[in-house]
Amino acid sequence: MSERLQTGDVAPAFSLPDADGHEVSLSDHAGRKVIVYFYPAALTPGCTKQACDFTDNLDLLAASGYDVIGISPDKPEKLAKFRDKESLSVTLLADPEKKVLETYGAYGEKKLYGKTVTGVIRSTIIVDEQGKVDRALYNVKATGHVAKIIKDLGL
């Protein structure tokens, strides 16, 4: 099981393909705050709700200096379908090997319907302009999570 990140940790660097197969790196966002959220699977009800919530609030977040990146173990082709079907404007990245998920503590044992399983732990890591973890939120709910982030950040 991977270690969870803590406030003040340096956010681990990553480069992953987006829905169109273009490499996107955390360093591409240097000097901006980044909300990196990890979700189990594109085109599922909870993940769709969460991605749509981020898309609906993207203008507010961007105006406040935040970029948003969603990462799942899906392949780029599935992310492209997800983006197009739901009209998503957040950056979606593919991590089929789960290396970034593990590095960020967003993959491991979790409870699902009362059973312990291994999988993606729905998580959100907020990275500051210096590349340090501002907040590390694990086991978040898909619904209402974006509104809570906005409230907690005072936006």
Burial 67-103 (b: 16+ CB within 10 A, else e): bbbbbbbbebebbbebbeebebebbbbbbeebebbbb
Among 16, 26, 47, 125, the active-site one is 47
For 27, list phi and psi in degrees, rounded to 5.
Answer: -65, -20
Quick check: 84 pLDDT over 70?
yes
pTM across the whole model: 0.95
Per-residue pLDDT band for 2 (boundaries 50, 70, 90) equals low
Where are any strands of DSSP class E within 42-139? 66-72, 91-94, 107-112, 115-120, 123-127, 133-138
Question: What digits encode the pLDDT tens for the residues 95-121?
Answer: 999 999 999 999 998 887 888 999 999
Instruction: Report DSSP state, residue 28.
Output: G
Q: What are the domain boundaries of the chain?
A: 15-152
Is domain 15-152 annotated with CATH 3.40.50.300? no
**CB burial of residue 128 (10 Å; 0-12, 13-18, 19+):** middle
Question: What digits encode the pLDDT tens for the residues 9-64?
Answer: 999 999 999 999 999 999 999 999 999 999 999 999 999 999 999 999 999 999 99
- Is 47 annotated in the active site? yes
C-alpha to C-alpha distance for 67 and 30, rounded to whole angstroms: 10
Q: Which residues contact 56 (CB under 8 A, 6 or more apart)?
A: 146
